[in-house]
Structures are given as structure tokens and as C-alpha cells.
Chain A
């Protein structure tokens, strides 16, 4: 089966800003690929290129075997786009919105009705289906937007930061919906700033920064690349944080991370139990009261910081038609 996305050496400039700087990415079919990166890394620009909303300046990009420059129409037939801003018509019902998009995919009236009904059911919007979209909550609108990208039965779903701005519950509901789609055979390319989202949903993560791919792999692969483990101490008194950080820093050449709100200090250590024992001992000797101590795998946050460093210069606006 042809790869769903094949990008080689993609470059795109907007005036003086280089948004994509030689991006390589291959997404095989049957995958959920998450493109992870800070603001300005080029995620949205990449998704827009795949969606044929903009043309790359250099490089090649094929979607389901079709070249985006030579045959954009063929690409548009197999993709579905759901963006950061839920692009649904508020003055139409959920059902009408879906039927409209289905018609634009070339379905006749009857087929459009069937597709719309199927999507409403798939996304748990049947009761709300005949209400105007402007009465929907934020989470429902996002689901409807997702639905609009599905009525054409796309081979590839493009989700640009799908859960930005949603409350935790709506996020989880959307994740469930996405997982169901993946199970039913739709490939997904998703961009996100949320590391837990990539971890939860993706089978393949591509970390991008300054317009190029910095690291690629499964969530487990990437965590393993950093090597070793993380010791995390939860102190009882906030005043002890700095002290504990200093103590733990000696275990890893001074690189302990403090999380003030949760009163935790973490530091990377070599694999094996020695790091944990040493940490516990030094904390005991210093007579610091602790709530909890743990040895765990590095989370994506730590992988990310290790691989990319500070965010890109020049925060691009988040309006969909800009970079």
C-alpha cells in the first residue's frame, strides 16, 4: 500500500520567515502520526501544505500517491481537514452542515443524508443533530468540525491542533472519537503542542522545530532515546524545593527540574536502581520531609526539551490563513 504521506525536503517561506526548512516525513498507511512542536515550528504550515491550501516552494510532497502540485484535485478527494478554528456554519443545524459538505464531495441528496446520519451517530451528536450549530458547546462544535472532515470518507484525516482550548472532558471525548476512527481504518495526521495528546494517540511521533524534523519514532522509542530514568521527589514543604534540587542536581551534573505548583523535583539518572537509592539517602541525610519518591521513564516533556531547546523566534499568528 502506498505511503499515506511522503514529504522530502519541503521548504516554504513567507516573506522573510522560513516556516519549513527541508522537512522530511513519511507516514505509512494505518498510522496515526503526530507532529509535535512549539509555536512557530512549522506544524500548521505543513498540514496546510498536505491539505493543498498552500504550495511548497521546494521539495516533494505526495499524499496517497498523488503529487500535491501536479494533482491537487486528487489529493482533495481523499483528505478531510479539521482545523484549529471549528469551521462550521453556526446558522445551520449539525445535520445540515454535514449534508452540505457531503454534497460538495459529489454525493447526491440521498447519499449525503446517509453519510450525515452515519457521522452524527459516530460522533455522538444524534440528539443535537437538528439543532443549530450556534447552540452547541465548544466541544460539540469541534466534534461537528471533525464530522465535517469525515463525511467524504477520507483516506487521510488532517487534524490541526484539534483540542486547543477545550476543557479536559471534551478533550477526552475527542480523543475517543479519534481512536474510533483509527480503528475503523482512517489514517490520521495530527499536529499538537500537547505532549500527552501525542503520547496518547500517536503510533508515530515526528518532532519538528524550525521547519525540520528533529526526531521520529514511536512514543516509547523517543522516551528510550534519552536513555535512563527519572527520579522524582514530592516534597512536603515548598521551602525545601531549592535545597532538594541542589542535592539531586549532584546526581546529574546540576540539571534538576523544579515544578513549584506540584512541589516536585525531578532529575535524570542512569538506568538501574542506584540513582533512586542515592537520592533517597541524600534527602534523608538532609532531613527533608518528603511525601513521595518515584523512579519512572522520562515523559515526552523531558524528551522534547532534551531534543529541541527553546521555542522558535517570532510567534506566528494563529489565524488559519496565516502561517
Chain B
């Protein structure tokens, strides 16, 4: 039986002098999150079925009742649905973060000689990648039930990119939530905060159909800008009539919101992580 000490090279050119840099640490930790996702089929299947079910319910059941001038409801709905996916998948991030804290995984990572920021960056990157994948899948289902791009293909790709960017920004909010929650149940509970943002927005219904006191919130919250930016890019000529501003108006504001969210949430997350 060989001893560890004999096998592992302790010389300065061996492991003792080296240290995992930011890039390697981040990728190594991110890989673990991705593997966990890929190798837990229940997670994937459940999430997919749930998402598809809700989408089809909105599309077919509410689609008949909600009337949006000048377009098919499915075309109106899909950008909204995809955008709110940012929030709902975020709850998963918060929960995963809290679980890692609870189960000692974060302890191990913090006791290792890796840069502090790599752990959070890894979470953000891995979960954004997973989110991008499920967004693409949702778009595919949307296509199957009648959604069509009315703008150019480039605009469509830009819309996708925007959604992913927004997802990355919100990751930091949910990472912070998870760090403060400390355990899975609390994280799920705190996750309920997404509901007002998801529903009191332009995602599922036109804002002017809401009572005036809700309109105030809906009109100015970040998700509405995001949804409308995606709509502007996917609806082409229909968009101007519906939204009243050109695409650039919404895209710029959506990106500003994303930057503001990162600017606030990222430092808070890092500070909380360091403090422990």
C-alpha cells in the first residue's frame, strides 16, 4: 500500500508552489454544478415537464380569453414566459446555494487555497448556462405551438442573448438570497418574492389591462422592460404598435437594469460569502 506522502510530489515544482488561479478554480467548481444537473435526471425531467405544462396552460387556456390587439396571444406570451423563466429558475439557484452551505460543501471550498470570488462566479456561470439551455428548449416548444419570429433572425438571436444576459444579472440576486437563507427551505420561502415581479409585469397580460395601482408597479419594474425588449425584437413590425417605443428604447433600459442589478447584488453576495 503506497502512502500519500510518497506518491504526491512535495517539491516546489510539484504541487506545493502552485495554486489554482481564478480561471481554473471557477471552471472546476462550475463543472461540478453542471455535472450535478446533468446527472440528476429527475431534476431535468421535472423542471421540463413543469415548464411545458405551465406554458401550454397559458397558451391554450388563457390564450382564448386574453385579447391583445393586432396579434396572436402566443406571440405576445412567449417573450413574457421566457423572461419570467429568469426568475423561476433563479429560485433553483438560491436553493442550490443554500444547500451547499447547509451541507458543508461551501466550507470545504472556503478551506481551499482558491480565490474567494471563484466559488460565486462558478455558480453564476453554471446556472446561467443551464438557464440558457432551458430557454432554448422553451423556445423550441413555443415554435411547436405556433410562436413565430416576426422580426429578423438576427433580432431573434439578440433577444436570446438579452434573456441570457438578464439571467446572469439576476443570478447574483439569487446567489445573495441563497447565502442569506442558509438552508433549502428558507431559500424556497424567500424565492416567493419572484411572484409579484413575474406576474405584476407585462409578461402575461398587457399592463394597461391592470388596475391603476398595479400599473404603477408593473410599468417601472425591471422585468417589464426586459419582456418588452424581447418582444420588440421578436415581434418586428407589430411591436411598435403595441409598445409605443422603438426596440432600442426597451433594450437600452433593460441592459441598464441588468447592470444596476449586478452592481448592487454582486458586492453584497461577495461580502456575505466572505463574512461567512
Contacts and interface: CB of A to CB of B under 8 A. Distances in A.
Interface of A: 48, 51-54, 73, 76-77, 79, 81, 83-87, 89-92, 96, 100-101, 103-107, 111, 114-115, 118-119, 121-122, 132, 148, 150-153, 158, 180-181, 184-186, 319-321
Given A51-B111, A104-B112, A122 B2 contact: yes
B28 A104 contact: yes
Contact of B24 (A81, A91, A103, A114): A103
A106 B15 contact: yes
A132 B35 CA distance: 11
A83 B7 contact: no
B248 to A, nearest CB: 43
Interface in B2-46: 2-10, 14-16, 18-20, 24-25, 28-29, 31-32, 35-36, 39-40
18 contacts: A76-B112, A77-B16, A89-B32, A92-B35, A100-B28, A101-B112, A104-B112, A107-B18, A111-B15, A114-B7, A114-B8, A118-B7, A119-B4, A152-B15, A153-B8, A184-B5, A321-B182, A321-B276
A81 B183 CA distance: 21
B101 interface: yes
B106 interface: yes
| Closest CB pairs A-B (n = 10) | A106-B18, A87-B104, A184-B3, A85-B104, A118-B7, A153-B8, A76-B113, A91-B39, A81-B111, A91-B36
Interface residues of B, number: 43
Given A77-B113, A114-B7, A152-B15, 12 more contacts: A51-B111, A86-B104, A87-B108, A91-B35, A103-B28, A111-B8, A111-B14, A118-B7, A132-B39, A153-B5, A153-B10, A185-B3
Interface centre among B7, B18, B104 (most CB of A within 10 A): B104
A152 B20 CA distance: 12
A83 B20 contact: no
A118 B9 CA distance: 12
Contact of A91 (B4, B19, B40): B40
A90 B36 CA distance: 8
Residue picked from B1, B40, B105, B111, most chain A C-beta under 10 Å:
B111
A48 B276 CA distance: 11
A89 to B, nearest CB: 5
B38 to A, nearest CB: 8
B102 interface: yes
B103 A87 contact: yes
B114 interface: yes
A184 B32 CA distance: 31
A103 B20 contact: yes
B25 A320 contact: no
B238 interface: no
B276 A53 contact: yes
A115 B106 contact: no
B99 to A, nearest CB: 11
B3 A122 contact: yes
A123 to B, nearest CB: 10
